[in-house]
Amino acid sequence: MRTGSSVKVWLAALAVVAAVVLAGCCERCKFQAKEKGKMSVTKEPFGQADGQAVELYTLTNKNGLRARIMTYGGILVSFETPDRQGKLADITLGFDTLEEYLKGHPYFGATIGRYGNRIGKGKFTLDGVEYKLAVNNGPNHLHGGIKGFDKVVWEAGGFENGQGVGLRLGYVSKDGEEGYPGNLACIVTYLLTNEDELRISYEATTDKATVLNLTNHTYWNLAGQGEGDILGHELMLAADRYTPVDEGLIPTGELRSVKGTPMDFTKAMEIGSRIQQVDIGGYDHNFVLNSGGGTMALAATVYERGSGRVMEIHTDQPGVQFYTGNFLDGSNKGKGKVYNKHYAFCLETQHLPDSPNRPQFPSVVLRPGEKYETVTVHRFYTK
């Protein structure tokens, strides 16, 4: 039994490492030096975490959009897009150095796993077995636990394909990590296309039934990071319903209509237009996407009038957590700016919170032999 299971770990680990290294091989021989138009993938050392070297990759597409991603936490460190005058600005919150990330932060730009969002009381039952997870948010489990995917060093390899430039990240999460069952092999791929899309794809396999809900936790400010609050941004969410939560932000189980409430963004509205009526200090809610998940569909459009920047989010996930940086309080200083309350928003595409304890919600169970695959596309343009 033991031998069988460690062989599986090895196979899973090898598959992930091979996938990222094969892709990375092209990057090492070609891209460091080569440029095709303005398109490029480069990497540089970014320090050490847990005694492991951390690298920072820069992806630049042919229009000059630039994403910087590091191997610690699979974190999107910065993302530069043009405003309507063509002037580039970094529109994501974060830090200039690895040391600042290591001191702790509210998931800026991070890859979140194994479970984005909360699992009530940090436990769930699967196939008759109760699993106890690391508890790190009051009595609940949040964003993968104490050492989630946002705090591990990933294997990485840059690549170029017909669509643009990318980075593939691989990580094998061990059976029992943060309390989750199964050795889980994950690949996260960032692709910056020449159509000005940032596509984030997730793949995973397991050797034991488990639950999984991967997402990305980038904090966006389309006016530029640190350039004031996001209350004037206009938001459209393709969601007629949301999941009301209790005081611990755990869904009550109800899927409630947004109609006539401050949750209604079915028509574009300024984020700040009704935020005072939201009693938990701003938005921190999961919206149930009308698509139901399973096929790619437009989930959200955000527009910032001053810069003209628009971000569309397309996903195959059934939900999206809309969070308005309610816990930012000015103590977060990054990339030369102070981050006050509401200085950014997050739109974390995902399954509904606490799904492992809610049989009526779409399933988040992954079984051996199945492949977890999901994609979220951020499309950028100006108007």
Q: Which residues are catalytic?
A: 217, 348
Q: Is 81 in the site for ligand GLA (CB under 6 A)?
A: no
CB nearer ligand GLA, residue 12 or residue 271: 271
234-253 residues in contact with ligand GLA (CB under 6 A) are: 249
Q: Cβ 286 to ligand GLA, closest distance in Å?
A: 8
211-230 residues in contact with ligand GLA (CB under 6 A) are: none
Q: Cβ 284 to ligand GLA, closest distance in Å?
A: 5
CB nearer ligand GLA, residue 71 or residue 218: 218
Q: Is 108 in the site for ligand GLA (CB under 6 A)?
A: no
CB nearer ligand GLA, residue 10 or residue 327: 327
Q: Cβ 134 to ligand GLA, closest distance in Å?
A: 15
Buried b (16+ CB within 10 A) or exposed e, 221-260: bbbbbbbebbbebbbbbbbbbbbebeeebbbeeebeebee
Q: Is 72 in the site for ligand GLA (CB under 6 A)?
A: no
Distance (Å, rounded) from C-alpha 308 to C-alpha 286?
Answer: 27
Distance (Å, rounded) from C-alpha 117 to C-alpha 23?
Answer: 31
Q: Cβ 202 to ligand GLA, closest distance in Å?
A: 18
Distance (Å, rounded) from C-alpha 101 to C-alpha 107?
Answer: 9
CB nearer ligand GLA, residue 60 or residue 117: 117
309-368 residues in contact with ligand GLA (CB under 6 A) are: 321, 323, 327, 346
Quickly tell me which residue has 């939900």 as its tokens: 319
CB nearer ligand GLA, residue 212 or residue 249: 249
CB nearer ligand GLA, residue 19 or residue 300: 300
123-152 residues in contact with ligand GLA (CB under 6 A) are: 142
Q: Cβ 327 to ligand GLA, closest distance in Å?
A: 5
CB nearer ligand GLA, residue 8 or residue 143: 143
Distance (Å, rounded) from C-alpha 11 to C-alpha 379?
Answer: 36
What are 95's two structure tokens?
């830090």
Q: Which amino acid appears at position 377 of this protein? A: V
Q: Cβ 274 to ligand GLA, closest distance in Å?
A: 19
Q: Cβ 344 to ligand GLA, closest distance in Å?
A: 11
Distance (Å, rounded) from C-alpha 285 to C-alpha 274?
Answer: 14
Q: Is 284 in the site for ligand GLA (CB under 6 A)?
A: yes
Q: Is 106 in the site for ligand GLA (CB under 6 A)?
A: yes
CB nearer ligand GLA, residue 204 or residue 328: 328
Q: How many chain residues are in contact with ligand GLA, going by CB under 6 A?
A: 10
Q: Cβ 369 to ligand GLA, closest distance in Å?
A: 32
Considering Cα of 36, then 37, then 39, then 42, what sign does the dihedral take? positive
What does the binding site for ligand GLA look like in residue numbers (CB under 6 A)?
Answer: 106-107, 117, 142, 249, 284, 321, 323, 327, 346
